[in-house]
Amino acid sequence: MIKILLLTQDMTKYKAATYQREFNRALTELADVYCYGPGYPNYIKDWTWETLLRELPWMPDVVILGHSWLSDDPALPLDSHAMLNPVESGLPTAMILNKEYSRLEAKLDYANRARVSLLISHHHEASALASRVQTAGHFMPFAVSSEKASRGFKTKTIDLMFTGVLRNPTFPQSQSDFRRVVQSRIFYTAAGLPVARRKAFRQMNVLWRPIFGSPLDKLASAMGMARLSEDQYDAALESSITCLNGLSPLGLVGTRYFESLAAGSVVIAEPSDVYSHINGLKDRIVEISSDASDLDEKLNLILSDPGEARKFASAGQSYIAAGHTWKHRAMDLIERLKQIV
C-alpha cells in the first residue's frame, strides 16, 4: 500500500465546502496517509523536513500538498510553511491546485519552484496548467462522498431549488452571469434581490437561497432567504425534483452538479462544452439556454411527467454511484501517484 504524507490543514470542521474533507477522508481509507498541518495536534510550525521525517511512523513514498496548504486569500501570504520547502524533502511531490481563479500565477510559480512531479486540478485543463510548469497533470473532477452516493430516492416536494453564490464577488470576471440571469427569469428583482415570482413560476414550489457576498445577504436573510446549513442543504437537495446548477469560476464543473445527481434531483444546467470532459455527464443533465429563455418550458416538461422525471433522476444517481465518488477519485489518483514514486 502506498504511503502518503498529506500536507493539509485539518478540514474536519471546515464548513464553507465539504469536498476537501471528503477527499481527504477517502484517500485515508485507501492508502497509508499521514496528515500534517495546522489544526492537527501533531503539527509544530517550526519543524524542518529532517525533524518531520524523523517523527513519522514510516518513510513516505510521496508527499501531497493538499487543497489548503497554500492560501487562496490574496491578503495573506501564499505559503506560511517556510520551513517545509518541498524541494528539501527529497521525496516525489504532488500538488493539488485549489480555486484556480485565485492567485493562479503565484500558485503555478510555487509549483515550479517546488519542482512538483504531478500537478492535480479539478479544472478540465489540468494538463495545460501543468505544462506551464513543465510537469505532468492529473484532472480530478469534483465528486461526492460514498455516503451521499448511496442514499435512496426520497419523496420530492420542491419543484426547483437553488442555493449558492450568484456570482463570485471577489473575482466576478472569472464567472458567467448565468445564475443572476436565471434569477431575473424567475423573479422580479429590486437592487438584485428577488422580491416576487413572475407569473410562469407562481404555481411552483421554488426554494431560492442566493448568496451575494455583500450586505445584501443580511437583507436576503431578513426576507426569509437565509443561507442553509449543511444538513438543511442536503435535506433540500433530496427533496427537490430539479436543482439549478451553473458553472463555477473559470468554467469548473463544481461539486453541486455531483451532489444534485446523487440526491436524485434533475440538474438544470448552464449550457457548456466543458461537460464533455467528464465522461457521461452531458447525458445526465438538462441544459437550458444561456439567457434562460427556455427555463419555464423545460421545467414544465419535467414537472408534467413525474414518472419520467424520476426515471431520469434515478439514472443520475446510478451514474454517480458507479464512478463519481471521492473514493473513485482517490483510487484514480493513487494509481497515478504510483507512476511518480
Asked if pLDDT for residue 13 goes beyond 90, the answer is no
Buried b (16+ CB within 10 A) or exposed e, 181-218: bbbbbbbeeeeebbeeeeeebeebebbbbbbbeeebee
> Do the Cβ atoms of 142 and 254 come closer than 8 Å?
yes
Q: What is the mean pLDDT of the chain?
A: 95
Q: Write the pLDDT tens digit of every residue in 120-156.
A: 999 999 999 999 999 999 999 999 999 999 888 899 9
Q: Positive or negative, the Cα torsion across 131, 134, 136, 140?
A: negative
User: Would you state the pLDDT for residue 155?
Assistant: 93
14 has pLDDT over 80: no
Q: Which domains does the chain have, with CATH numbers?
A: 3-143+325-337 (3.40.50.2000), 146-323 (3.40.50.2000)
Please determine, for residue 274, whether its predicted confidence score (pLDDT) is greater than 80. yes
List pLDDT tens digits, range 61-92.
999 999 999 999 999 999 999 899 999 999 99
- The identity of residue 257, as a single letter, is Y
Q: What are the cell numbers at 13?
A: 470542521
Please give, one letter per residue, the 3-state secondary structure of 293-311. Answer: CCHHHHHHHHHCCHHHHHH
User: Distance (Å, rounded) from C-alpha 165 to C-alpha 172?
Assistant: 11
Q: Average of pLDDT values for 223-229? A: 92
Which residues, in sequence order, are bridge partners of residue 34?
A: 5
Amino acid found at 148: K
Contact 137, 121 (CB under 8 A): yes
What are the grid coordinates assigned to 267, written together?
Answer: 440538474
Q: What pLDDT does residue 171 have?
A: 87
Percent of the chain residues past pLDDT 70, beyond the cut: 99
Rounded Cα distance, 239 and 234, in Å:
9
Measured N-to-C along each axis, helices 326-337 and 19-30 cross at an angle, to the nearest 10 degrees, of 60
Q: How far apart are CA 177 and CA 172, in angstroms?
A: 9
Provide CB contacts within 8 A for 203, sequence distance 6+. none
DSSP one-letter string for 199-210? GGGTTS-EEEEE
- pLDDT exceeds cutoff 80 at 289: yes
Q: What is the pTM of this model?
A: 0.94
**Residue 240: partners with Cβ closer than 8 Å, 6 or more residues away:** 156, 158, 159, 160, 161, 207, 260, 263, 265
Instruction: Tell me how far apart the alpha carbons of residues 285 and 73 are, in angstroms, rounded to a whole number.
Output: 33
Phi, psi dihedrals of residue 207, rounded to the nearest 5°? -105, 110
**pLDDT tens digits, one per residue of 291-311:** 999 999 999 999 999 999 999
Q: Per-residue pLDDT for 169 more than 80? A: yes
**Mean pLDDT on 169-178:** 91
What mean pLDDT comes out for the span 250-257?
A: 95
Whether 15 shows a pLDDT value over 80: the answer reads no
Residue 81 is placed in which grid cell?
A: 510553511
- CA distances for 235 relative to 43, 61, 168, 223, 230, angstroms: 36, 40, 25, 21, 9
Q: Provide, rounded to the nearest whole percent, the portion of the chain with pLDDT above 90.
A: 93
Residues 6+ away with beta carbon under 8 Å from 129 = 97, 100, 108, 119, 121, 123, 137
> Residue 308: CB partners within 8 Å, gap ≥ 6?
302
Give the pLDDT confidence score for residue 151 in this predicted structure. 85
pLDDT of amino acid 240: 98
How far apart CA 81 and CA 37 sit, in angstroms, is 9
Per-residue pLDDT band for 12 (boundaries 50, 70, 90) equals confident
